[in-house]
Structure 1
């Protein structure tokens, strides 16, 4: 991760304020799922932060789900954190069948934002409190058949947590 002073996206950058009207929210906005994955493909993990109640939202949203405020900003997130919950998915969606069973965890990043994702470790090798780091991969490198993608997902990367 880059030093925040070198990052073009920080909480103090006024250009990252959330869209205040429906017309201001575009399909490629960083406050939408496609915008989140575009940033991830560019190597940036972004979260929204409500400036009224301090809730982190990852992936970003244009309004806070805790208090409803539209006073949200974007901030670059660390890729490291710790496992706070985890489970195994034994019957995943078709595109991921060959990876079953899949270990999935809720990870609290070092910023306190939480992100759910696949962990590249067997369930029995993982524990609450384990340190992990987010890796971004091309879906084809993971063996995910592009035929399963929806049209707007074709360029989306896959995020996977590796044990640190």
Structure 2
């Protein structure tokens, strides 16, 4: 029997994949950005964290706003939308619709817009404890609270 680690991101291969897809680990894109953020974490079965705030069940709203503002600072034309009652998956619907019309507008010569000047400040994730970045934060927090690996095993 192998012991199960505290969280999936304790496995180096998984941590590597998570680092590869983390927006904050990459330079600002050189193309136009349309970022649509859900903040209806309750639809995904998660609740807003008392100090980290709301999210969409996957992303924390404050950090997405920070990334959006960083893109603006790097001269990436960025349009940011926050939908308070949509989850991560449901926020894809307005993103697809608006994205379609934005692309169509570009092909028809319409000017690009951005709302960089109106995106509220967010928080930086640089000092965020790993407990909050785990794919399964409740397991991770339990593991950290006990200060030892969880006593679970997996059958071979």
Give the TM bin, normalised by the shorter chain.
Answer: under 0.3
Rg larger in structure? 2
Normalised TM-score (structure 2) = 0.24
Normalised TM-score (structure 1) = 0.23
Relative contact order, higher structure (CA 8 A, sep 6+): 2
Structure (1 or 2) with the greater helix fraction:
2
